[in-house]
Structure 1
Amino acid sequence: MNVAELLNRNKDQRNFSFELLPPLKGSGTDKLFATIEKLKEFGPLYINITTHHSEYVYRQLDNGQFERLRIRRRPGTIAIAAAIQQRYDLPVIPHVICSGTTVEQTEYELLDLQFLGISNLLLLRGDKARDDRSFTPTEGGHAHTTDLIAQVNRFNEGFFADGSPIKCPGTPFGYGVACYPEKHEEAPNLEMDMKYLRQKQDMGAQYAVTQLFYDNRKYFSFVDKARQMGITIPIIPGIKPLAKLSQLTTVPKTFHCDFPQELASEIVKCTTDEQARQLGIEWTTHQCRELYAHGVNNIHFYTVSAVDSVREVVRRLQ
């Protein structure tokens, strides 16, 4: 069952889903599974698993200069997705991204996922390298999510990227995409950004998940504009509780979203991370209840550095 069918089947119920990071290279799965254990009792609709291909790091040489290298810190998204699906019997949605990979490597990912019986994807461009001014595609890779969507569509139709037929096509993939209530950082304006979302829908995206936000008014406004533009797919709000004081400055910079003044004024009153965490729980609970009151029954949680906070929020919403 694809995500669109899951959402439709449970449209009159209040549901949540959450996102996980694969373990760092060389780490085990204990922490990952511990996160799932904390949340599975509340009945998540599905679990997202992020993908992190190679990224740039700098290594100092003996002569004092630095060498730029590409490494992969968090491998194993496909294997982790399969392990979660087998262990917990929950739908899993691995991210498939353009960043750091080639068209051929993406094709192998799709084949592996089909062999494992995983047919739901979240298709993303992925982040630009930390020190790059703009996104630079890997040689032989995709530059845009729409290119990736086109490849998945062709695969679903029974053709490899080179045009040769797939002898035994498997279950077609269903997929969602990302969207940005406060616009993508590289978009010239929100209207242009939403035009691309409409294009992704028209190409086959079945739903969209938003970047995190703290002001529900921006989500409601975004959805209203989307509907006016003919975007009819579900737009699932992505929520992340504030977890520590430093996030007052790091979250807006990293995720390109604003704190509403009411929340920012309360954060600056906090003197400890625990006070900030409790404020985050209270604010997120209020956010979710307001979303429910506006008829939004599906909420997606970003759990990085906030697992216990997400658990407390979900507990309060039960």
Structure 2
Amino acid sequence: MTLADLYQSDGCTISFELFPPKTDEGIDLLCQNVERLLRFQPQYFTCTYGAGGSSQRATLEVLKRVKEITQLPVASHLTCVGSTVDQLCDYLQKATEMGVDYIVALRGDPPKGTDQFEQTSGGLQYANELVELIGKKFPDLGVAVAGYPEVHQEAPDAKTDMDNLKRKVDAGADIVITQLFYDNADFYRFRDDCQKAGIDIPIVPGVLPVTNFKQAQRIAGMCKAAIPANLEAAMTAVESAEDQFHVGVEHARQQTIDLMANGVPGIHYYVLNKSDAAAELLDGLSIQGPVS
């Protein structure tokens, strides 16, 4: 089953994103949470890596463990940052040998302390070039690319951002996974714009259940994702960490219910290696993904 095929059913395909822990204890805890998340019948897991490729090897080890535990497809993030074409191909070869099924192909963020991406000598400058490279050298790997409902922070306007996304799709992407957002109206507007631009592959919303207001503010600042007034009011109206957790999770649950009612092909959850928030927001919801 290809990556695109996972989104061809009438149900809502669920996937979860992880990141590589820094300690053996963290990896053990991650694996425990992955096992808990299996009850929601995810179709695959993805794993990021650190800035500039600092934890690429750890990413592959995490994905190997996850695949052993779940017997599900797994996807590795891959960016253009700090890598030559040969190094990218070397990573893709290792990923393939370790059983990685899909790649989340990204240009990558500028190095810490800078606000401008710099192309590595002998490397790639744009994500669409990475998608093309994967399609040419590793055609059996499914490819997801990123979309930005509230416009990429480096894009001068929404049209330029959409043109960039169209280039990635035309280069051979199978699906688009969006950056997190807190207001579903932003996603629906983005989805409509994708349709107008001739993008006809699955557009998968990315949802992060925020569990405290400081976290929401920090992530919103990093991703340029606006916090709706009702969410801010609800989270600041309570004081305890437990109450803020439930407010944030309930907001993500209502996002999920509304997204499903509006026909999204799937939802990608940024779970931050934990399972409590995802378990609470998904508990009791009727989600039926494709039959493998």
SS at match of 2:284: helix
8 Å CA contact retained: 1:25, 1:73? no
8 Å CA contact retained: 1:240, 1:301? yes
Amino acid at match of 1:98: C
Aligned residue in 1 for 2:4:
4
**Is it true that 1:42 corresponds to 2:24 in the alignment?**
no
Aligned residue in 1 for 2:97:
115
Aligned pairs for 1:198-277 (under 5 A) are 198-277=166-245
Report the count of equivalent residues: 286
**Judging changes above 3 Å, is the alpha-carbon distance between structure 1 residues 186 and 34 closer, same or farther for their aligned structure 2 residues?**
same
Tell me whether 272-281 or 301-310 shows the greater mean CA deviation: 301-310
Amino acid at match of 1:271: E
Aligned residue in 2 for 1:164:
none
8 Å CA contact retained: 1:119, 1:174? yes
Residue 195 of structure 1: which of 163, 188, 192 is its match? 163
Question: Following TM superposition, by how much is the alpha carbon of 1:53 offset from its aligned partner in structure 2, in angstroms?
Answer: 4.9
Instruction: Kindly provide the CA deviation profile for residues 48-91 of structure 1, in whole angstroms up to 9, marking residues without a partner as x.
Output: 11122547xxxxxxxxxxxxxxxx35742123222221232011
Provide the rounded CA distance (Å) in 1 between the counterparts of 2:24 and 2:253. Answer: 35
Question: Following TM superposition, by how much is the alpha carbon of 1:142 offset from its aligned partner in structure 2, in angstroms?
Answer: 1.8
8 Å CA contact retained: 2:175, 2:201? yes
Q: Select the structure of larger CA radius of gyration.
A: 1
Higher helix proportion, which one? 2
Provide the rounded CA distance (Å) in 1 between the counterparts of 2:174 and 2:262. Answer: 22
8 Å CA contact retained: 1:241, 1:306? no
Question: Following TM superposition, by how much is the alpha carbon of 1:296 offset from its aligned partner in structure 2, in angstroms?
Answer: 1.6
**Judging changes above 3 Å, is the alpha-carbon distance between structure 1 residues 204 and 23 closer, same or farther for their aligned structure 2 residues?**
same
**Is it true that 1:180 corresponds to 2:140 in the alignment?**
no
**Judging changes above 3 Å, is the alpha-carbon distance between structure 1 residues 116 and 74 closer, same or farther for their aligned structure 2 residues?**
closer
Aligned residue in 1 for 2:253:
285
8 Å CA contact retained: 2:101, 2:142? yes
Instruction: Kindly provide the CA deviation profile for residues 231-280 of structure 1, in whole angstroms up to 9, marking residues without a partner as x.
Output: 11111000001111312421220111001112122122121222211101
**Judging changes above 3 Å, is the alpha-carbon distance between structure 1 residues 4 and 248 closer, same or farther for their aligned structure 2 residues?**
closer
Aligned residue in 1 for 2:64:
82
Provide the rounded CA distance (Å) in 2 between the counterparts of 1:132 and 1:219. Answer: 29
Instruction: Kindly provide the CA deviation profile for residues 10-68 of structure 1, in whole angstroms up to 9, marking residues without a partner as x.
Output: x212331100001216665202201201201221111011122547xxxxxxxxxxxxx
Tell me whether 207-216 or 125-134 shows the greater mean CA deviation: 125-134
Aligned residue in 2 for 1:124:
106
Provide the rounded CA distance (Å) in 1 between the counterparts of 2:94 and 2:241. Answer: 42
- In structure 2, the gaps of 5 or more residues are 287-292
Amino acid at match of 1:245: F
Q: Which has the higher contact order (CA 8 A, sep 6+)?
A: 2
- In structure 1, the gaps of 5 or more residues are 56-71, 157-170
Amino acid at match of 1:19: E
Residue 301 of structure 1: which of 247, 250, 269 is its match? 269
Provide the rounded CA distance (Å) in 2 between the counterparts of 1:6 and 1:15. Answer: 7
Amino acid at match of 1:24: K
